[in-house]
Amino acid sequence: MNQLYITYSDEEILHLIIGQDSQEAFEELYDRYFKVLYNFAYSKIDDEYISQEIIQELFVTFWQQRHENVIKSCRPYLFGMLRNLILLHYRKEYTRQRHYNEWVLTHDDVSDLLPDQPALTNELQIRYEKGLEILPPKCRQVFLLSRQGRTYRQIASELSISEKTVEQHISKAIQMLKRYLKEHLPYLMAWFTLWN
């Protein structure tokens, strides 16, 4: 923390950032607000890495756009930016999940992926089904529901579990299936990496 600016108000810091392009004042603002903004982001996202990335993006954007916006008060402005970035994160996550579900649905039958190799297709289907059998029952149930195109929220609601638990079950299922197929059909790992 820069001792020079420690006694300055947020408004004085803001004036130095906007009026004089003071990087030292910007660093002071960063030091003042990083932790509180990070804690808020983490409370909404529950992921340390993503929360840190969002806060970094917030401050980079703040610096880049410091002359473009009218900022009357730092705290409400920074939290407004943070809320927008969190919403953007969830929109991207929803879109990613939707595309993943659509891809999985269109490739439900592995013969779509290997149409010219029926023996390999049959072997893959057999190994895949056996791999599903090794999954814990709840994990298998969640994974199969996701393959039917249900969203994390729908699965969570249907099974009375949290969306985070749904995500963990699906991640565990993918890891276990990868491991199983790696042990039994190493040459199919290239195909299976498309799932992750």
pLDDT tens per residue, range 74-91: 899 999 999 999 988 888
- Say whether both 86 and 120 belong to one domain: no
- CATH number of the domain where residue 91 is located: 1.10.1740.10
Domain total for the chain? 2
The C-alpha atoms of residue 178 and residue 171 are separated, in whole angstroms, by 11
pLDDT at 117 over 60: no
The DSSP output letter for 9 is: -
Q: Is residue 102 part of a domain?
A: no
Same domain flag for 10 and 90: yes
pLDDT digits (tens, 9 = 90+) for 53-75: 999 999 999 999 988 888 888 89
- Examine the fold and report which residue of 39, 68, 97 is the final residue of a domain before the chain moves on: 97
Give the residue numbers spanning the domain of 28: 3-97
Answer yes or no: do 43 and 12 share one domain.
Answer: yes
Q: Same structural domain for residues 40 and 8?
A: yes
Answer yes or no: do 12 and 87 share one domain: yes
Q: Which residue has the higher pLDDT, 4 or 98?
A: 4
Residue with more model confidence, 144 or 100? 144
192 pLDDT exceeds 60?
Answer: no
How do residues 123-167 score in pLDDT, each as one tens digit?
677 777 888 888 999 999 999 998 888 899 999 999 999 999 999
Domain boundary among 40, 63, 97: 97
Q: What pLDDT score does 112 carry?
A: 52
CB atoms near residue 131 (< 10 Å): 21
Q: Which of 186, 173, 184, 100 is nearest to 132 (CA)?
A: 173
The DSSP string of 140-186 is HHHHHHHHTT--HHHHHHHHT--HHHHHHHHHHHHHHHHHHHHHH-G
Residue 79 and residue 118 in one domain: no
Q: Which of 51, 66, 97 is the last residue of a domain?
A: 97
The whole-number pLDDT of residue 54 equals 94
Tokens 């895949």 sit on residue:
128
Q: What is the mean pLDDT of the chain?
A: 81
Same domain? 140 vs 62? no
Asked whether residue 103 is domain-assigned, the answer is no
Q: Rg for the chain (alpha carbons), in Å?
A: 24
What is this structure's pTM?
Answer: 0.51
CATH code of residue 184: 1.10.10
Asked if 70 and 145 sit in the same domain, the reply is no
Asked if pLDDT for residue 47 goes beyond 60, the answer is: yes
